[in-house]
Amino acid sequence: MKELSGFTRYLARKAGKLLAEKFSRHNPVYYKGAIDLVTEADRMSEELILSEIGRRYPDHGVLSEESKERDGRSAMRWIVDPLDGTTNYAHGFPFFCVSIALEKDGDIVLGVVYDPIRDDLFEASLAGGSYLNGTKLCVSSVDDLSRGLLATGFPYDVRESRDNNLDFFAAMIMKAQAIRRPGAAALDLAYLAAGRLDGFWELKLKPWDTAAGCLLVTEAGGVLSDLKGEKWSMFSPGLVAGNGRIHQQMLEVIIKVENSYR
């Protein structure tokens, strides 16, 4: 695992350096949907990461945002977001990251989230704790939702789908101290692990959005669930993450909104 951890840090830093070098408002942008976009930097970062994995660990599987899933012969699978926060990146808004996780037999065993603008490298290993640039992390001690700083996001089909998080946001803003919408779920989760945020929720996230960040949260003492308070998986339709002290209070708000539609 020591070798794999070092390789994951190396990959994240190398891809992050590429993103930082190309960070400008002149990056070519391509649209996958009405508001869902991909930049040339996404593709270059992904190509760098996947080629390095292929050279070092050719028998490992890979699940990445911009490429077809690659099955491997081993029990290992890499889960990669080469640029989380693409819309921010395309507009020159400096909140984005590289997210890389390693899954073994269905469990996430390593996770790295790297913010190249701030040179913040968040990393976690299963049963090994969470760290930011070598300093051990712990979630916040806030125990009252009314004093909690939360983060969330909105899905790419926000204009078309009724299941768009606006109702949860409207209810939660009346209960929390404040809510932020930074635009990069992996980095939001890293901030939760670091105690910079107290809670996070979002709908319709993909495995590459959450794999590394959720390991950071749990290894820092945080709690995860789906929107009903049940066990969360990378394929759950929604995620609620908290410091463990306000998690149930967040769930009560979400469940009350869901029950109002029945």
Residue that the structure tokens 């105690």 belong to: 195
Residue 36 is predicted with a pLDDT of 57
Residue after which a domain boundary falls, among 136, 163, 179? 136
Q: 34 and 131, same structural domain?
A: yes
Positive or negative, the CA dihedral 147, 173, 243, 145 is positive
Q: What is the pLDDT of residue 24?
A: 72
pLDDT at site 261? 74
Structural domain ending residue among the three candidates 136, 166, 181: 136
The confidence score (pLDDT) of residue 158 equals 86
Which pLDDT score, from 0 to 100, does residue 35 have? Answer: 53
Q: What is the pLDDT of residue 125?
A: 98
User: Residue 75: which domain range?
Assistant: 2-136
Three-state secondary structure call for residue 251:
helix
Counting Cβ atoms within 10 Å, is residue 170 exposed (0-12), middle (13-18) or buried (19+)?
A: exposed
CATH value at residue 151: 3.40.190.80
**The predicted structure's pLDDT at residue 262:** 57
**Residue 94: predicted pLDDT:** 96
Total structural domains within the chain: 2
Mean pLDDT by runs of 10 across the 262 residues of the chain is 96 97 75 66 93 96 88 92 94 96 96 98 98 98 98 90 93 98 98 98 97 98 97 95 98 95 66
Give yes or no: residues 206 and 232 share one domain.
yes
Strand partners, 238: 203
Q: Is 75 left (phi over 0), alpha (psi -120 to 50) or beta?
A: alpha
Query: 99 and 151, same structural domain?
Result: no
pTM: 0.94
The length of the chain in residues reads 262
Where does a domain end: 111, 136, 161?
136
Is the same domain home to 196 and 249? yes
CA separation for the pair 111, 127 (Å, rounded): 12
| Per-position DSSP letters for 157-177, written without gaps between them | TTTT-S-SSHHHHHHHHTTSS
**What is the distance between the alpha carbons of residues 191 and 122, in angstroms, rounded to a whole number?**
9
Asked if 42 and 108 sit in the same domain, the reply is yes
- The pLDDT assigned to 195 comes to 98
